[in-house]
Structure 1
Amino acid sequence: MQYAQLAAGTALISGPKNEEICSAYLLVQLYPVPPKHWEEDRGWIYLGVAICRIAQDINLNCPMTAKPLNQHHTRRLLSRTQIWLNCFNLDRSTGTQYGKRAIIPNSDYVARHCDMWWQLSPYDLSGFDIQTCIYNMELRLMAVFMAKIYSDRVLQHPPL
């Protein structure tokens, strides 16, 4: 894990930004070394770097409008959307776990339009892409629910 963290830091400072580096940050966030103290947990930071510094810089959050040229290009475009949806899902689930606000808004175009995305490519990962989309819809629904709860003044400030 120390090597993974060192490679992640080096890639951020001097390496190229690409889908693989973004995926690596997501993995480091998902499988951290258990910290001795709560304050030492860096998972939220790795997720923020994956989303804010890498994924958005390489436009993973933008809808794919390019026409696939061949099988390799089709898989590359599919992978970009998979990585972004995983960024969105991890942002929501980790935020809920740690009690933090999501970085990616619920109005994200790619996340809102993934309902049938998993059916669009003949190369989708059977069972994985549909699960990613369903989990995405569940997390977006939970965000709407949480927004309603936090907008209720009675729940925020109960009478004394």
Structure 2
Amino acid sequence: MALSPHLMKFVSESLKVRSVANRIIHTSSTLQKCQSGRYKKTLKNDFPLTYEMANPPHAIAHRKSWNSWNTTNLDGGLRASETAVEDVFIRKFMVGTWHALFVSEIIIKRQHNIIRIAGILRRSVSARKMYFLIGYTEELLSFWLQCPVKLELQTVNDKKDVVFKYI
């Protein structure tokens, strides 16, 4: 199929404009500059990374999707903005209540009307204080969010037990 001369002139002129614009702006492919979300390599390889931190950005959908199962962000989902605000509030409350004890990310799982909060803690407080903090956190968050809240916490002896690799 041959193009008409008028259409051929239009196509050639539009290609010239694009090529001139590319030389002036210096646009590059997005695949060449994939650096966001990556940690810089240190000289002594002494920077610890957890499993979540060690995953590259292109693997987020495959390896880290279980950290954010939240169906309110789907098209037509209800309460998308309220859920985001509640998640930020929950994370800030947990970090403030369990000060310097979390060695992993705080994972929030929403299933029906139950909110389950998971994470890994250092074993540096007594069992009595740990049980008090669990009850305190569950009770206050359940009251504020008007739904049942359950904590699923695991403990480790040292922060180094959570390190996946060093870079």
TM-score range normalised by the length of the shorter chain: under 0.3
- Higher percent of residues as helix: 1
Q: Which has the larger radius of gyration?
A: 2
Larger proportion of strand: 2
The TM-score, its normalising length taken from structure 2, stands at 0.22
